Amino acid sequence: MTVKGMHTSPLKADTLNPKVLTAQYAVRGEIVIRAGEIQEELAVGEKKPFSNILYCNIGNPQQLGQLPVTFFRQVLALCDYPPLLESPRVGELFPPDVVERARRYLNAIPGGTGAYSDSRGAGILRQEVAKGIERRDGYPADPDLIYMSDGASQSVHAVMRALIRDERDAVLVPIPQYPLYSATLALYGGTLLPYYLKEEHEWGLDLQELHDQTEKAKAEGKTVRALVVINPGNPTGQVLTQENQKDILKFCRDEGVVLAADEVYQDNIYSPNKKFVSFKKVMREMGLEDVALASMHSISKGFYGECGRRGGYTEFVGFDKDVLAQLYKLASINLCSNVNGQICTALMMQPPKEGEPSYLLYSKERSELLASLKRRAERLHKALSELQGVTCNPLEGALYAMPRIHLPPGAIQAAKEAGKAPDFFYCKQLLEETGIVTVPGSGFKQEEGTYHFRTTILVQEKETDQVIDRLKKFHDGFMEKYGRK
């Protein structure tokens, strides 16, 4: 019926798509919104026990002062404003390999950064990515199987959109997980099938758990469509062993499920006895042909941290060509990902080589930043481990720590009375008293009865001590206050 004469806003939230209403994304949830309010309160001179907000909730390095890779930005500037290439000053302002790279890309991309590209990304840029994958793995990569995207989040959307038919379709997701997975599963109406990483075994992935969950799901009439593996782990920071990766691939082969490999932290390894090996490489070494692997990467993490540029790609390995055609069509409905981000993705996979003019600066920036991240990871791990009632697995990789807080019953009771999850209760007070923004473990899901929070390791080194002091002071006070009860 018509609704003549109704007042403002015909549209009410409770009539929206229920899949949208149920989707959650804690990384930018209630605590972050409160942090924004506090920042405004500080701005208008409100007195607080701290002078600034420290955003440790999200892997956003440049927001915290990390500098971009010079080579990337030089090429991007020339590609966005090609007349600089004709300036007599260009040789003075840019190294020759930067100029050469920009010319080569612009000559091969009709319309440059201002024109829609092929929906999968400009051909020359997908070729650059393919060459980078070949160098990394020692196995061939086909540019036509590389689909560039506005960041890995878009890749995850595309895979979930294509795979999920209804709630009978299930996807195995590690717990703790990165909330993008629970959010997209909610949006596309699938079922999240949790497999718990073993905190007592340094967040190890237990194959038996995959089998148990899968059998359970089948018994409930569900179809397991995909297995999500995040390696290195987010929020948990563990790096898989190749043995573990082989078992995972065999599992996917035997069960006929797609392996969605989130490998965006592949350049973030800190443990001396761990290294990143791609699932593509392990699959090739095993000679496996009959696994469908979606390997996702991004320019947002690593040592480049180009989050705001929104660039990334998925390499589809072992996918049927009709399925790829459908994924191509999906991409074409969005026309293409941003070309500036596509170029940065190509640069990430095809950085300056030894002997090229930009190589020294590039490798200096790279090694200094990775060394600094390693120091920060170790320092934070040490500090967290020393806190009373806190245990923290080693930070082998990625950009986060996921300490477990053994909360006293008094804190759990007080949280219950406040109608909040205990770790939310902890993180909220941490924010109010210190200005440090973290994400409660409940936002990532966690073993029932355990409590965690996630913090990034991205605070600049000059501030790390200060942050650790703030955290320690708060934590001791919190434990004392609620421990007594």
Task: Specify the DSSP element, H or E, that contains 265.
Answer: none
CA torsion angle for 181, 130, 352, 373 (degrees, to 10)?
20
Helix, strand, coil percent content, the chain, rounded in steps of 5: 50, 15, 35
Q: At 440, is the secondary structure helix, strand, or coil?
A: strand
Per-residue binder mask for its own copies (CB under 8 A), 214-233, x = binder: ----x---------------
Closest approach of its own copies to the CB of residue 436, in Å: 16
Report if residue 332 touches its own copies, rule: CB under 8 A. Answer: yes
Query: Least Å distance between CB 304 and its own copies?
Result: 8
> By CB under 8 A, is residue 102 in contact with its own copies?
no
> Residue 291 or residue 414: which is nearer to its own copies going by CB?
291
In the bound state with its own copies, the residue whose beta carbon lies nearer, of 18 and 96, is 18
How many angstroms separate the first and last alpha carbons of the chain?
Answer: 58
Residue 93 in contact with its own copies, rule: CB under 8 A: yes
Which listed residue (96, 110, 138, 409) binds its own copies by CB under 8 A?
110
12's CB contacts (< 8 A; 6+ apart) are none
Among positions 125, 336, 414, 415, the unique one binding its own copies when judged by CB under 8 A: 336
Q: Does 23 bind its own copies (CB under 8 A)?
A: yes
| Contact status: 457 vs its own copies (CB under 8 A) | no
Exactly one of 338, 350, 391, 450 binds its own copies (CB under 8 A); that residue is 338
Q: Is 370 in the site for its own copies (CB under 8 A)?
A: no
Provide the pairing of β-strand 436-437 with 54-55. parallel
Nearer to its own copies, 192 or 387 (CB): 192
119 binds its own copies (CB under 8 A): yes
Three-class secondary structure of residue 2 per DSSP? coil
Residue 80 vs 206, nearer CB to its own copies: 80
Q: Is 198 in the site for its own copies (CB under 8 A)?
A: no
CA–CA dist 215, 195 (Å, integer): 12
The answer to whether 441 contacts its own copies (rule: CB under 8 A) is no
How would DSSP label each residue in 182-242?
HHHHHHHT-EEEEEE-BGGGTTB--HHHHHHHHHHHHHTT-EEEEEEEESS-TTT-----H
List the one residue out of 130, 206, 239, 218 whose CA is nearest residue 168: 218
Contact 312, 152 (CB under 8 A): yes
CA distance 165 to 395: 37
Q: Which residue from 145, 258, 264, 430 is in contact with its own copies, where contact means CB under 8 A?
A: 258
Restricting to residues 125-164, name those near its own copies by CB under 8 A: 150-151, 153-154, 157, 161-164
Residue whose pair of structure tokens reads 């006895």 in the numeric block: 273
Q: According to CB under 8 A, which residues from 287 to 316 bind its own copies?
A: 289-292, 300, 305-310
Q: Does 108 bind its own copies (CB under 8 A)?
A: no
Decide if residue 44 touches its own copies (CB under 8 A).
Answer: no
How far is residue 307's CA from residue 330's CA, in Å, rounded to a whole number? 23
**CB of 259: closest distance to its own copies in angstroms?**
10
Stretch that binds its own copies, among 89-97, 194-202, 377-385, 436-444 (CB under 8 A): 89-97
CB of 109 to its own copies, least distance (A): 8
In the complex, minimum distance from the CB of residue 424 to its own copies, in angstroms, rounded to a whole number:
17
Q: Are strands 439-440 and 436-437 parallel, antiparallel or unpaired?
A: unpaired
